[in-house]
Chains A and B, each alone.
Chain A
């Protein structure tokens, strides 16, 4: 018995020594035991009394992450939060007025412009940045890398999907949603004719960067077209896929088949999901997958649980985006700004992707990090609102929006989009033909280039 004890003690002692040695090595390497040992866990050498970020609103995510930062580092976080559409204006005026901005964010559409105007600083070489870059998804790499430099960390990613109201489809005695665009029209015409829905389709076509333009981009891409080729030449000429798609799309409005809800031209991505929740339309889309988070939320939608996700016709090709957080060049202290940027777009002191995981669980947003996209945060977090395998299946068929419309990498994309919103809305309301609209947009490319 004593021998047994000794043997155990000796074994145990060896184990303790081995474990201690292992711990020592782990400490040296900095990551074997985890995340607390990484560069995100140490305080910057400099001292500041506050830091700030300028962002667009999304629930209470920013008040929560600001509180966590304050608790972890004892530094106050000031936040300036605007509506999504007002954010570029707010950021621009603060920057122009010489105010301090440590961290801000951008959609992929305005980001090249912000970078060109000197609002953002590269993050390459900052402590831990290389680890983040290794974990970037392909979408993130495309949006965050400008001129060979990494200019930001991901906020969230999403892909364009369709939604349908299952009860209405059942009422129409249609066993499954459309598989072709012709079928889509058939279903909508039938819904209107049978008096089941006056306006069977709600397009997400309000003025913006990714509503109206995004809908056109996605349907063009799904049909095998793009807006610019690899050399940057436009693909909007006579007979182009983009032009034909626009003709088809415009025909769904009042002066054509009259199956499109007139509210389509006013709604943004969230408001369209809320409007769809009224249960008056059969189809909605194509737009961000996370609209399901609104339309299948019982607190926001009378038809919660009855809205299903659906892929695009044909081979199911779709597109996606990643929005970014960036280190502002108007920061008060680069080390602290980097620390704050990581809280928004990277890891918190405990080494977790706290914000990205919360966004997946609370808001159904996808992540710009492979490790988060492959985690249970997505698989379990999204489940209350939609068919996760179906959405991830659509995700696999998504290309980054830059492949569809490569002008998003150019500073002139933003002013061109302003014109695109006007011309396409005029086309959809019957003031212009699709041919006139595309011809105007072709002319507008040169004008937009002159504006920057």
Chain B
């Protein structure tokens, strides 16, 4: 009776279903994400299949050129050098971040180890430094004849000749990973530390009663409980490391030679250096996006799914 009365009401006076209500609540966020994220991605995709230079952008007329931009990117040897460097950079930075984040988070989580608020603040400080400033700071540190790093190593007797950290093709890529890890590590530490705080203390107490040592407690309690957050860190950090740009710009500008050309630097140079090929730059950025999406999918299907099931 009640139901049939409700059914007779006009649609706008009927009780909203849970699904519709959820959609209604999420609409502002969806609209925001659509404008801020989806539109640029779709627009980049559109540009990537058109011939787009400065004059075309100014006129707003883009001749369609199919997959030509993609073909030109994929046949450019420099693009593959950039991809190789990006993969090395990502593997080093993400691996180091995960290991260091767990180690540092475990350390500051120890009740027996006292860390002051100042220490905790200092641990988090690098994350607050703008990436380009971080790059500039480290470019001064790495300076060959006048850099602070060589001076310290020299004064403690570890080197007798200055090392050309960022100017030697054999070390430059590794040199750029350090500032990047230094800046982004706090983010991973926060996540791991938060996850550690969520592990019930009584699990450790019971394990201690059963005679488990520190390694066993870590292996059988901490590690399984951290896997979910580590999967998230892997996904996020891989995506960000793939798009590294500021440290490259400030420290090496891709050099020496092509030793530190990474994927985002490639897209930037193709797009913003004359002849300003926005179409080809968009194509290279889109290829990078697809690669990140593929890796994220692999993570989701392997690591994340395994730890959440």
Asked if A pairs with B, the answer is yes
Q: Are A266 and B167 neighbours in the complex by a CB distance under 8 Å?
A: yes
Q: How far is the CB of A256 from chain B (nearest CB, A)?
A: 15
Q: Are A330 and B58 neighbours in the complex by a CB distance under 8 Å?
A: yes
Q: Which residues of B contact A261 (CB under 8 A)?
A: 144-145
Q: How far is the CB of B76 from chain A (nearest CB, A)?
A: 8
Q: Are A278 and B146 neighbours in the complex by a CB distance under 8 Å?
A: yes
Q: Which residues of A contact B53 (CB under 8 A)?
A: 117
Chain B contact residues, majority secondary structure:
loop
Per the bound structure, the CA–CA distance linking A415 and B78 in Å amounts to 13
Q: Are B275 and A266 neighbours in the complex by a CB distance under 8 Å?
A: no
A215 adjacent to chain B (CB < 8 Å): no
Q: Are A207 and B254 neighbours in the complex by a CB distance under 8 Å?
A: yes
Q: Which residues of B contact A43 (CB under 8 A)?
A: none
Q: How far is the CB of B48 from chain A (nearest CB, A)?
A: 16
A5 adjacent to chain B (CB < 8 Å): no
Which residues B231-269 have CB closer than 8 A to chain A?
253-258, 261, 269
Q: Are A422 and B258 neighbours in the complex by a CB distance under 8 Å?
A: yes
Q: Which residues of A contact B276 (CB under 8 A)?
A: 92, 96, 117
Which residues A403-452 have CB closer than 8 A to chain B?
411-412, 414-415, 418-419, 421-423, 425-426, 428-429, 431-432, 447, 450-452
A262 adjacent to chain B (CB < 8 Å): yes
Number of interface residues of A (CB under 8 A): 45
Q: Contact mask B270-302 → A, CB, 8 Å, 1/0?
A: 001111111010000000000000000000000
Q: Which residues of A contact B272 (CB under 8 A)?
A: 88-89, 92-93
Q: How far is the CB of A425 from chain B (nearest CB, A)?
A: 4
The answer to whether A118 and B54 touch (CB under 8 A), given A89-B273, A415-B273, A415-B275, is yes
With beta carbons under 8 angstroms apart, the residue of A98, A411, A431, A452 that contacts B58 is A98
Q: Are B253 and A114 neighbours in the complex by a CB distance under 8 Å?
A: no
A263 adjacent to chain B (CB < 8 Å): yes
A322 adjacent to chain B (CB < 8 Å): no
Which residues B43-97 have CB closer than 8 A to chain A?
53-55, 57-58, 72, 76, 78
Per the bound structure, the CA–CA distance linking A116 and B56 in Å amounts to 12
Find the residue from A98, A113, A266, A452 having the highest chain B CB count within 10 A. Answer: A266
Q: Are A414 and B274 neighbours in the complex by a CB distance under 8 Å?
A: yes
When C-beta atoms are compared, the residue in chain A nearest to B55 turns out to be A118
Number of interface residues of B (CB under 8 A): 33
With beta carbons under 8 angstroms apart, the residue of B164, B253, B269, B280 that contacts A262 is B164
B197 adjacent to chain A (CB < 8 Å): no
The answer to whether A423 and B273 touch (CB under 8 A), given A262-B164, A263-B144, A278-B145, is no
Per the bound structure, the CA–CA distance linking A429 and B172 in Å amounts to 12
Q: Which residues of B contact A97 (CB under 8 A)?
A: 57
Q: Are B145 and A280 neighbours in the complex by a CB distance under 8 Å?
A: yes
The answer to whether A263 and B167 touch (CB under 8 A), given A207-B253, A415-B274, is yes
The answer to whether A429 and B54 touch (CB under 8 A), given A110-B274, A113-B274, is no
B102 adjacent to chain A (CB < 8 Å): no
A373 adjacent to chain B (CB < 8 Å): no
B119 adjacent to chain A (CB < 8 Å): no
Q: Contact mask B151-188 → A, CB, 8 Å, 1/0?
A: 00000000000001011110000000000000000000
- Contacts A92-B272, A98-B58, A114-B274 aside, 7 further interface pairs with beta carbons under 8 A come to A117-B276, A118-B54, A207-B253, A207-B255, A262-B168, A330-B58, A426-B169
18 sampled A-B residue pairs with Cβ under 8 A: A95-B54, A96-B57, A97-B57, A110-B274, A117-B54, A117-B274, A207-B255, A261-B145, A262-B164, A266-B144, A266-B255, A415-B274, A419-B78, A425-B255, A426-B169, A450-B72, A451-B277, A451-B280
The 10 closest A-B pairs by CB, nearest first: A426-B257, A96-B57, A113-B274, A89-B272, A414-B274, A425-B257, A452-B275, A262-B164, A117-B54, A425-B256
